[in-house]
Amino acid sequence: MLAKTGIFAASRYWNFLPNARLYAGTARGYRADLNELLFGSERANPKEVGAIITEFQSGTCFYCHRPLKGEAAHVDHFVPWSRYPVALGHNCVPGRAACNSKKSDRLAASVHLDAWCEYQQRNAKPLAGEFDRFGIINDFPSALRIVNWPCNQTFASHGLAWLRNQELQPLTEGWSKPLMPLLN
Ligand SMILES: [Zn+2]
């Protein structure tokens, strides 16, 4: 009995390990992370997430503002899935397939971060209400920290962020300005 528990616990531990490293220094201990770590991550139904965020974004691509007419919105993870593999509602924005695939696993440039902050300032609460209604995991304070952390790292290491098409640029000096009032 004891041995079984031991094996189970050990395998669980090993499952945690790759993710735990990603979380180190970010938002470890927040509700969303704990749930995901303890019970495993299931990506939220992209159709439901897509429908909600598209409505809040007035049917346009978050990045190029072109209408999503005639094409299903792709759910873009604002902080890429490769950096934060939890489908937190507030980290999802609607995008055209072209923008979504070009951004790929990059962080978004400062201009997009400004827009994300402004969008959340207006919509974080009603978005949370909709996410809750459809059982989509969300925790806005965690989302803010999850955005802040890789941006901090990228800025400090002079890394590049995605602007549009194939254009990349460093985060601007004042990248964190719109984020700070939301974090505090
Ligand atoms: Zn676009």
CA of residue 53 to ligand 1 center, whole Å = 14
Among 87, 63, 81, 82, which Cα is nearest to 73's?
63
Q: Are 73 and 97 in contact (CB under 8 A)?
A: no
pLDDT tens, position by position, 13-45:
333 333 333 333 344 444 555 555 444 455 567
CA of residue 93 to ligand 1 center, whole Å = 11
> What torsion do the CA atoms of 20, 115, 129, 46 make, to the nearest 10 degrees?
-60
pLDDT tens, position by position, 114-132:
999 999 999 999 999 999 9
pLDDT tens, position by position, 100-112:
999 999 999 999 9
pTM across the whole model? 0.77
CA of residue 39 to ligand 1 center, whole Å = 34
CA of residue 150 to ligand 1 center, whole Å = 22
Per-domain boundaries in the chain: 42-183
